[in-house]
Amino acid sequence: MITLKSDREIREMAESGAILAGMHIKLRDLIKPGISSWEIEKFARKYFKENDAIAEQIGFEGYKYATCVSVNDEICHGFPRKNLILKDGDLIKVDTVVNYHGAMSDSCWSYVVGKSTPEIDRLMDVTKKALYLGIEQAQVGNRIGDIGAAIQHFTEDENGFGDVREFIGHGIGPTMHESPNVPHYGEAGRGLRLRPGMTITIEPMINLGGWEAEMDDPNGWTARTQDGSLSCQFEHTIAITNDGPKILTSQDPEFDAKYLLPEK
């Protein structure tokens, strides 16, 4: 079922999103060579508790952690691990969902550990630009396919990267995963028409190589690129409004200025 949110509910989701964004901003200083990916999990749990928020992923379909920490060829759903020590040039994706007094927000961000490479920089740049191309299509009256078509054309046709098919965006609120599905590939002009009050995630997962995923990890969760290439992801929670798409998990008010809710 698709739930349409009131202005009040959207602003409550933005409060949740601000907590989640704040955690991601803090991770910029935490993530460095020599720490374990478990340190990210510990920090997230502490940060959410200090901000009176709930790590909504814990317990979801049996998942045990507040965060997904996926490294290099891991596309998504990587477990935070005490024995995984981060090193120079690792590409880290940190994904989490916050419940703040019943309001949900979902965001994944990518980080490079220590010294980057031109290859990683380009993959991250293309993936982030793809996210914002998708956001720009999240207009009242457009269709779900417009979002996916813009992302797929930019990532695959223009840049030769792999646009993951197996994992997609979704509606969010009042629970973590709701209708509609929001693929990051597809055909413009097709799919559900977007309406004011819809809240969705746009979260392209883009591979340096092919788009295919391998999902045979013994833990039953972690997906990897089939060809072993690097994978990157950026994700925001978005509200569809008559004034255009609004980012509810912004980390950069200046960069995102046109996509922010107006002040009361």
Numbered residues of the known binding site for a divalent metal cation:
95, 106, 170, 203, 235
The binding site comprises 77, 95, 106, 170, 177, 203, 235
> How many other CB atoms sit within 10 Å of the CB of residue 54?
17
Q: Do 155 and 163 form a contact (C-beta atoms < 8 A)?
A: yes
Scored b (16 or more CB within 10 A) or e, 94-133 reads: bbbbbbbeebbbbbbbbbbbeeeeeebeebbebbbbbbbb
Handedness of CA 169, 126, 256, 150 (dihedral sign): negative
The binding site for substrate comprises 77, 177
3-state secondary structure of 163: strand
3-state secondary structure of 99: strand
Q: Residue length, the chain?
A: 264
Helix or strand (DSSP H, E) at 237:
strand 236-239
